[in-house]
Chains A and B, each alone.
Chain A
Amino acid sequence: MALEHEHNGAELAHGGHGHHGPNVLPSVLTAPEVVKTWRVRAAIVAVVFALLSLALLAVPGGATHLVRAYLAGYMMCFNLVGGALAFLMVQYVSGGKWGLVLRRPLEAMTRTIPLVLLLTIPLLLLMKQLYLWAAYTTKAATLDAYHQGLITNEQHLDIDFRHVMLNPGAAIFQACVVLGFMTLLITLLNRWSVLRDKDETAGTVGSFDKWRVRFENVSGPSIVLYVILMTDFVIVFVKSLDIIWASSVYGLQFLVAQGYGALAVGILSLILLSRYEPMKTLFRTTEQHDLGKLAFAFTMLNIYLTFAEFLIIWSGNIPDELTYYAHRIQGGWWTICTLDVICHWVIPFCLLLSRDIKRSKHKLIWVAVVMICARFIDLFWLIEPSWNKDGDTLHLIGNFGLLAYITVPVTLVAIWAVYYLTELGKRPLLNVNDPHTEELLEPEHAH
């Protein structure tokens, strides 16, 4: 770091006299050509992993795991879009230069919603294979399944009890409402963002205020609505894998996880883009430091909610609730659980404590990569143990079907990345008609 300081010092001194004026806004604000290369690489990864996924069909238990892993991959994409949308709205409400610099990548992430909509169709078609409530849709069917020993008595009673919310029709309806709301919001925010730059009075206080108020008015209430709807969505499509268990913090956990993932992708994108103009000028160390601090906050918030849920259930000691964790900790699953905690919290927490790492581009980028990988592990740990029966253990050796949890989510996220990078290239990387633009061009820390 001493070296970096020397370097900063040298830069300061270089421009020597009168160099402390603002930077010039780069003339070309669109994404650099290299984005197309990244897109090709993402496409190659998608194809390779898709082929590997198909190969897993030949493995015993492969097909079953492919379906489950599809849910994990789907949730990865959904979380990235949802997280980006939530962040986009939060930065409109909170303001701040970090928000402006992150805005266009977030917008590009949200514009991948058509992919999520498309991916929802197979999920709905595969419902019967994933959820007990979709497999047994009537009281007679659950009773019959119970008599045949396919489900336990608790499961039978719970499926009946939760039938109003958890049945194929209701699930489709809820998916339509949630995704419809997200699509509407994403369309609106993205369209306004373009109109904002095209505003005839752009660059004046009147224009700044008009758009700020407009974005705030939509974003504020929409954040609340989004959190409620997203909670409903994850309860239906993830939590209900375990029909008996319930947790009041489940939606919030997902919300934080969404923010965690979207922020990691945002930081990764900005650091990669900052190797080229225009982000080379626009993404300053100050904003990178801010984003690093925000990532640190999300790391803490994530472990706080996750551990709080565990601690309350552990203290409560009620069989209905404990089974959920027993399936995720016992029988070898503690290794995955520990890995999840290490990647999700220990590594990012320890690294992000350091100011130097938050300010260093080539170090922070690796933290972002670890954070993204942690999301894959977390979804594996949340989803796969749902099919555990008491006494089941985690078999890694010879159980090639589990590899689907790597191949399918990577395939889907790579496809998502292709789409994201395409969208990223469509607009200038900076929303110029914003009062913060001028501040981004100021030399760092100058007053």
Chain B
Amino acid sequence: MPPREGVYGLLAEFNTPSELVHATEMAHRAGYRRMECYTPYPVEEAAEALRFHKTRVPLMCLLGGVMGLTTGFLLEMWINVWGYPLNIRATPLFSWPAFVIPEYELTILFAGLSTAFGMIAQNGLPQLYHPLFNAPNFASGATTDKFFLCLEANDPRFDVAETRTLLESFSPVSVVEVDH
């Protein structure tokens, strides 16, 4: 694959999370969707402004849990009723109370694993290169005390001049054009 060239996006730097959240919300209202916030610590409001909470990870967790439950039930059923039907204490072969614990364990196991792997599958990690590190202020500030909003060039509304004007209207510390 040939290396991607051109503008990755416009990166605005803010000093406070409040300014970042406000800018994000306004950019969302202006119709931008391909955008991302970068903060040194989790800022829930930024996630909300990005409408970020609707991920598929909870669904993955639920499906994993249901699969674990079903697996546990079928496993126990097969062992006790069909595979190795040993009647040791004169209870019916299908004694569901005894199945509950393995079912529970497998529910937790499958839910946990599917959450972890589902999250990794969806969040794009591991990522060895990210264009934003081309911006010098990002590399030094994103993990310490600066708050960044990046409006990405692949957004249909993106236009270098217009987007820059929009970002500058939020009085950021700086707006930097980031290349791929």
Contacts and interface: CB of A to CB of B under 8 A. Distances in A.
A184 interface: no
B155 interface: no
Given A13-B25, A353-B62, A355-B58, A5 B48 contact: yes
Contacts of A443: 45
Interface in B95-117: 97-98, 100-101
B43 A445 contact: yes
Nearest to B39: A447
B56 interface: no
Interface in A4-40: 5, 8-9, 12-13, 16-20
Interface residues of A, number: 24
Given A5-B53, A17-B22, A445 B97 contact: no
Given A9-B28, A315-B98, A353-B62, A445 B44 contact: yes
Interface string B31-47: 00000000001011100
B29 interface: yes
A446 interface: yes
Given A317-B89, A353-B62, A446-B18, A9 B97 contact: no
A387 B45 CA distance: 57
B100 A307 contact: yes
B180 to A, nearest CB: 30
B37 to A, nearest CB: 13
A3 B87 CA distance: 56
Contacts of A311: 97-98, 100-101
A444 interface: yes
A314 interface: yes
A250 interface: no
A5 B29 contact: no
B21 interface: yes
A215 interface: no
Per DSSP, chain B at the interface is helix
Nearest to A354: B58
A310 interface: yes
A314 B90 CA distance: 12
A2 B54 CA distance: 9
Contacts of B167: none
A444 B44 CA distance: 8
A340 to B, nearest CB: 16
Contacts of B91: 317
A446 B47 CA distance: 12
Given A17-B22, A317-B89, A447-B17, A9 B100 contact: no
Interface of A: 2, 5, 8-9, 12-13, 16-20, 307, 310-311, 314-315, 317, 353, 355, 443-447
Interface in B70-102: 89, 91, 97-98, 100-101
B10 interface: no
B97 A310 contact: yes
Contacts of B100: 307, 311
A9 B25 contact: yes
B72 to A, nearest CB: 15
B49 interface: yes
B53 to A, nearest CB: 7
Given A5-B48, A9-B25, A9-B49, A447 B97 contact: no
Nearest to B91: A317
A375 to B, nearest CB: 23
B26 interface: yes
Contacts of A9: 25, 28, 48-49, 51
Nearest to B171: A17
Nearest to B51: A5
Given A9-B51, A16-B22, 8 more contacts: A2-B54, A5-B51, A5-B53, A12-B45, A13-B29, A443-B45, A445-B48, A447-B17
11 contacts: A2-B54, A5-B51, A12-B25, A12-B45, A19-B18, A311-B97, A311-B100, A311-B101, A355-B58, A445-B43, A446-B17
Contact of B48 (A12, A19, A355): A12
A118 to B, nearest CB: 42
A444 B17 CA distance: 12
A443 B44 CA distance: 11
A12 B22 contact: yes
A5 B50 CA distance: 10
B53 A20 contact: no
Contacts of B62: 353
A16 B29 CA distance: 13
Nearest to B170: A17
Nearest to A353: B62
A310 B101 CA distance: 13
A20 B49 CA distance: 14
Contacts of B25: 9, 12-13
Contacts of A315: 97-98
B26 to A, nearest CB: 7
- Among A5, A19, A443, A445, the one with the most B-chain Cβ atoms within 10 Å of its Cβ is A445
Nearest to A286: B44
A447 B43 contact: yes
